[in-house]
Amino acid sequence: MIELVFATNNINKIREIELLLPSFFKIKRLEDIGCTEELPETHETIEENSLEKAEFVAQKYNVNCFAEDSGLEIDALNGNPGVHSAHYAGDRNADKNMDKVLQEMENNDDRNANFKTVITLIIDKVQYQFVGTINGKIGKEKKGLYGFGYDPIFVLEDGRTMAELMLEEKSKISHRAKATQQLIQFLKENYSA
């Protein structure tokens, strides 16, 4: 059994990743190790923020852990909101963030975008990173009742938004799912008995 701390306080991300994990894998939450503080995110790239959160937890609590950072990258906005996705409109408010993106994209024909997740694993004091992306377009309005963050305005190739997918379906195709599958494969090959 591999025990890893998932360095996040986002219950939606925890649920998504827990659905993907094989039985040899046990996730501990930050609260399980007594970590109640906000994790640092002080960098300008998704890769660096993912690493910063993992290093903070691994060093302060002396545990094997993984952290992830994700962002919505929109071609017409030069990759924004990107690393600033969670606070794009000033605070952690998904509706305000989506409204800002929709307003900025109002007269833009180039609606290409992608979601990107970077997972940083620190195990036995060694760091590894896994990257997952999914391509889509920015819709013109919010649609769907599921998901979180920018899911209601992120349109997939089949015309549905991420927020129109049930969690089980989303957890098979999302950017986070792709990065998590790489993490699981790595652990299977290197750490499962």
Could you give the residue numbers annotated as active site? 69
H or E stretch at 177: helix 175-191
Q: Alpha-carbon distance 67 to 39, whole Å?
A: 10
Q: Alpha-carbon distance 17 to 181, whole Å?
A: 10
Q: Please, are residues 178 and 132 in contact by the beta-carbon 8 Å criterion? A: yes
Running DSSP on this structure, what letter comes out for residue 138?
Answer: E
With the CA atoms of 181, 122, 191 and 186 taken in that order, what torsion angle do they form, in degrees rounded to the nearest 10? 30
Q: Alpha-carbon distance 19 to 140, whole Å?
A: 31
Q: Alpha-carbon distance 142 to 158, whole Å?
A: 16
